[in-house]
Structure 1
Amino acid sequence: MKAKKIGALLLAAVMTFSLAACGGGGKDDSKGDSSSAGSSSDKKRVCFVARASADTFAAWLTTEMKKEAKNYDNIELTCVSGEGDDNKENGLLEDCVTKAYDLVIVQSNNNGAQAPYVQQLVDAGIPVITTNPTTHQSDLDGSDDDSVMEGTGTVDADPVAQAKVSADRAVEEVPKDANVVVLNGPSGNFHADKRREAWTEYFFDKRPDVKILYEDYANWNSDEALTLMESWVQSGTHIDAIISMNDNMAAGAIEAIRDDKEYVGADGTPSFLAYGVDGTAQGCLLIKEGMLTSTALQSAADLAKKNMEYADKVVNGEMKVTEVNDYVDAPEINKDNVQEYIQMYIDNGEITDDGSLSE
């Protein structure tokens, strides 16, 4: 099984590198040091708190934030990562209060766990934009109020729409009386929870013949998904479909059965379906290969562009942070249109010309 994990380890190394620094003209590191020489004192200091470097989407978003920050000479961007640990991310948010940033962009690992610390930022008078996912008022006070948390703004995507893209086609594609497995993101994460609810509404409620053979949390992580899938296939019951709340977990599950003749024929044709969300470069390559059936694009580039655009307007007094409320689209990616998205990743350097992930 060591061979299977090599790819995942290499990918994690790439993502860790991506999260090491973000720059808009300043010196930034994983500890949040945004000091720099020259005129940095004249710049507005913005911190992006990502949820984890081992999460392909968080890494992609961080990379795109880095690119976008270069377009704003008046902003110095610092990027830090909570590494999928609520305590670490909460500590980073407290550190943002101490360092008195001009604005903080928060990508929560667990909405409820981070909400009180987002409130600390608000109470300190620091503008906060929550992104991928939105922090809601209900995350803070346990109410039924799903509006954006008071005193904050948001740039996000609709997780229900993202999951519905693949759930709708799965209704027609998944064979009768199929056995499926479900890979969930972190419990309490808005996107993870809502994507799972959407699969219930748009697939499982419409296909009562389908049996959920196994379901567990892989926390957006490919290695965790790989381990779960290795365990699940040992039962001997064929798995007809992998339903994953993101591409990264789907990739891990696929890696676990890539060399299993029961799941992949000698000609490379899979005998299973697999669905994800995010439309990452890795996910697109898996679709082209025939291993991933479909996904929905959650463009980190679009999220980063909107986040930095609004951050610039807020720190310059052009708008209030509570006026920031914007969402990106969730187009479907499948075998019929995947090449255009692969070309997008070739153009931005995430996929090489020979069709492999950039290192």
Structure 2
Amino acid sequence: MKKMRKLAAMTIAAAVAATSMTGFTAFAEGETYRVCFIARASADTFAAWLTDSMKKAADQYDDIELTCVSGEADDNTMATLLEDCITKEYDLVIVQSNNNAAQAPYVKQVADAGIPVITTNPTTHQSDLDGVTGDEEVDNAVMAGTGTVDADPVEQASRGAIRAVDEVPENGNVVVLRGPSGNYHAEKRREAWDTYFFSERPDVTILYEDYANWNNDEAMTLMETWTQGGTHIDAIISMNDNMAAGAIEAIRNNSEYINEDGTPNFLAYGVDGTAQGCMLVKEGLLTATALQNAEEIANLNMEYAEKVLNGEMEYTDVADFVEAPEINADNVDEFIQIYIDNGELTEDALAE
């Protein structure tokens, strides 16, 4: 896949000076480097996929020893883990924030300690650290002193939103499942739906909208409650596949939403293109999703980590963004095959 690269330079002299001020040991050729990856939550299917992919990617480098930990979607836990990275003097830290603004000060602490930091899925921005009030202009630059590997959440969500303009029935009723408040990807994906769908379809009514925090069980509970309202839901608009899967599970055996021939009487849109999401597309229950390739993100993180640790590039020059191809009924088989090839799905599971 092609990637958009946005590189911002920082001189080696400045980096060396920061390192000297903190007393952190400079890198030496031939060492084994200790890298910590902090995932946002182990129960999050994408975060779990990314964690597993990080481990596989790290195995390709003899000079990287990777430790993976989870913040369990708790900001206090995330803060403790980031502070722990300083105490344990990791050589490089990769952070997948749960709440950008909450984690930003602790990410800065790690960077200020002279430890290279790469933020990933989502990027930590300067505005996350500085805070934004009123009509103040948002600084979407990568936070100073960090690098990033990410995907564009607006591009991701726009895939489903654009097609939904023509697919959602006139005067349709929809529900919206949101990711964690304060999470960059969650907020930007929701903004994309406003831009590409709701602004184009003023006839559509949002029956219900709530935070399910990327979580399957929370989304299932919300959907069970919403269907009790008595008004048919024409479309589920979810900011990720995991929440969409939970909502779909809540109505899988509901005759109002599943026709006698097994076809759905609703539409559903997600993001991530996980194995679970692809299987739901294949089943006809998820209308479309967009791939956020955890393997590609993990491989890039480890590639850049290794280059940084061996002095081949500055970590503040790391700025790479993967694309988000749409997955739908027409092309889902090629993405399922990827998961079969990497062992996440089996031919037997596909046949069930």
Q: Distance in 1 between matches of 2:343 and 2:350?
A: 11
**Deviation per CA, 1:13-69, whole angstroms, max 9, x where unpaired?**
xxxxxxxxxxxxxxxxxxxxxxxxxxxx94100000000011000000001001101
Q: How many angstroms apart in 2 are the aligned matches of 1:266 and 1:282?
A: 24
TM-score after normalising by structure 2: 0.89
1:177 aligns with 2:171: yes
1:221, CA displacement in angstroms?
0.2
**Corresponding residue to 1:103 among 92, 97, 104:** 92
1:80-95 → structure 2 map (5 Å cutoff) = 80-95=69-84
CA distance in 2, matches of 1:213, 1:222: 20
Where in structure 1 are there 5+ consecutive unaligned residues?
1-40
- 1:172-213 CA distances to partner (integer Å, 9 max, x unpaired)? 000000000000000000000000000000000000000000
1:111-150 aligned at under 5 Å gives the runs 111-143=100-132, 144-150=138-144
- Paired residue for 1:264? 258
The residue aligned with 1:228 is 222
* CA distance, structure 1, for counterparts of residue 283 and residue 307 of structure 2: 42
- Equivalent runs, 1:261-300 vs 2, <5 Å: 261-300=255-294
Matches of 2:341 and 2:230 in 1, distance apart?
A: 43
* Structure-2 separation of matches of 1:315 and 1:91: 24
Other-structure match for 2:48: 59
Q: CA deviation at 1:353?
A: 1.2
5 Å matches for 1:26-45?
42-45=31-34
After TM superposition, give the deviation of residue 73 of structure 1 in Å: 0.3
- Equivalent in the alignment of 1:242: 236
Distance in 2 between residues matched to 1:148 and 1:242, nearest whole Å: 32
Are 1:211 and 2:205 matched, yes or no? yes
Q: Report which stretch shifted further, 41-50 or 122-131.
A: 41-50
**Which runs of at least 4 in structure 1 moved beyond 2 Å after TM superposition?**
none
1:343 aligns with 2:337: yes
Cross-structure match for 2:321: 327
Match of 2:308 among 314, 320, 329: 314
The TM-score normalised by the length of structure 1 is: 0.87
Task: For 2:312, give the aligned amino acid.
Answer: E
User: CA shift at 1:349, angstroms?
Assistant: 0.6
- How far apart, in 2, do the equivalents of 1:162 and 1:289 lie? 22
Q: Which amino acid aligns with 1:125?
A: G
Q: Which has the higher contact order (CA 8 A, sep 6+)?
A: 2
SS in 2 for 1:312: helix
**Other structure's SS at 2:349 match:** coil
Distance in 2 (alpha carbons) for counterparts of 1:319 and 1:196 = 35
1:163 corresponding residue in structure 2: 157
SS of corresponding position for 1:104: strand
Which SS does the other structure have where 1:304 is aligned? Answer: helix
Task: Give the secondary-structure state (helix, strand or coil) at the position aligned to 2:220.
Answer: helix
Q: For 1:197 and 1:117, locate their aligned partners in 2 and report how far apart those are by CA, in whole Å.
A: 27
Give distance in 1, aligned partners of 2:110 and 2:205.
45
The CA distance in 2 between the partners of 1:355 and 1:93, in whole Å, is 38
SS in 1 for 2:263: coil
Superposed CA deviations along residues 306-356 of structure 1, whole A, max 9, x for unmatched, are 000000001111111100000000000000000000000000011111135
How far apart in 1 are the matches of 2:350 and 2:37? 28
Q: Aligned residue for 2:14? A: none
For residue 21 of structure 1, what is the aligned residue in structure 2?
Answer: none
Look up the SS of the partner of 1:133 in the other structure.
coil
Measured in 2, the distance between the counterparts of 1:63 and 1:128 equals 20
- Structure 1 distance, partners of 2:195, 2:96, is 26
- In percent, how many aligned pairs have the same letter? 74
Residue in structure 2 matching 1:71, options 44, 48, 60: 60
The root-mean-square deviation of aligned C-alpha atoms, in Å, is 1.1
Alpha-carbon shift at residue 265 of structure 1 (Å): 1.5
* Stretch moving more, 334-343 or 143-152: 143-152
Structure-2 separation of matches of 1:324 and 1:123: 17
The whole-number CA distance in structure 2 between the counterparts of 1:319 and 1:333 is 35
Structure 2 residue runs of 5 or longer lacking an equivalent are: 1-29, 133-137
Which amino acid letter does the alignment assign opposite residue 72 of structure 1? Answer: Y
Offset, 1:266: 2.2
Q: Which moved more, 1:164-173 or 1:140-149?
A: 140-149
For the residues of structure 2 that align with 1:253 and 1:130, how far apart are their CA atoms?
30
- Aligned pairs, how many? 317
In structure 1, C-alpha distance between the alignment counterparts of 2:330 and 2:348, rounded to whole Å: 20
